[in-house]
Amino acid sequence: MAQNDDELLVKLTEAVLFLENRPVHVGAVAKITGRSREKVRAALKKLEQKLNTQKSALRVIRNERDDYYLTIEKDLYAKLGKYYDASKKIKLSPQALETLSIVAYKQPVTKSEIEKIRGVGVDYVLRILLEWEFVKVVGKKSVPGKPSLYGTTEKFLKYFGLLSLRDLPDLNAFERA
């Protein structure tokens, strides 16, 4: 049975996402497959529908930069993450968790803004979070000295089993509790 071009593009797109094993911009997928961005976006929608219809454990995720990647269903991370995710072996200190929480909820945020909230210096903790690739420099603030702005990474999302920052718990609920 011959495949039509749309079916082939869905398979090629799935294969690219699988082989890259990281977020891939739609433009890169288009370049690799030799198709237009519009056709790739349509193929990604079809792939997402296919995975949902087959009740697959895999999901196609799109981030705010128009990057796509394959991941597993959120609830499966709790069951499988300790065996397959090497980052789960990282033990975060209370100081690192607190700093990471501030970055996640306030991003983009400067080191001095984090220190103001925490009330202590964060040089060491921030350096560790950068090394572990849970945070990254996302720009420079337009003030004298141009301090670095920090934000979270895809590795942060995967470590905590989040599909996007929208999946973070509501901060207001914590404040009420």
Q: Do domains 5-72 and 86-176 have the same CATH topology?
A: yes
> Of all residues in the chain, what percent carry a pLDDT higher than 70?
90
* Amino acid identity at 52: N
Q: Alpha-carbon distance 127 to 57, whole Å?
A: 35
Q: Give yes or no for a cis peptide into 108 (omega within 30° of 0).
A: yes
Find the mean pLDDT for residues 135-158.
93
Q: How many helices (H) and strands (E) does the chain have?
A: 9, 6
Separation between Cα atoms, residue 102 and residue 95, nearest integer Å: 11
Give how far the C-alpha of residue 103 lies from the chain's centroid of Cα atoms, to the nearest Å: 14
The third-level CATH classification (topology) of the domain covering 86-176 is Arc Repressor Mutant, subunit A (1.10.10)
Task: Give the pLDDT score at 1.
Answer: 42
Give domain limits for the chain. 5-72, 86-176
Question: Which residues lie across from 70 on neighbouring strands?
Answer: 60
What span, in angstroms and rounded, lies between the C-alpha atoms of 166 and 162? 8
Whether pLDDT at 44 is above 80: yes
What mean pLDDT comes out for the span 5-26? 90
C-alpha to C-alpha distance for 54 and 154, rounded to whole angstroms: 26
pLDDT of residue 177: 55
> Distance between CA 57 and CA 79 in Å, rounded?
12
Taking only the tens place, the pLDDT of each residue in 50-84 is: 998 888 989 898 887 788 888 888 778 777 766 66
Task: Label the pairing between strands 58-62 and 67-72.
Answer: antiparallel
Residue 53 corresponds to which tokens in the numbers above?
């219809």
Residue 174 has pLDDT above 60, yes or no: yes
Task: Pick 5-72's CATH classification: 1.10.10.10, 3.30.360.10, 3.40.390.10, 1.10.760.10.
Answer: 1.10.10.10
How do beta strands 135-140 and 109-110 pair? unpaired
Q: What is the pLDDT of residues 97-108, one digit of tens each?
A: 999 999 999 999
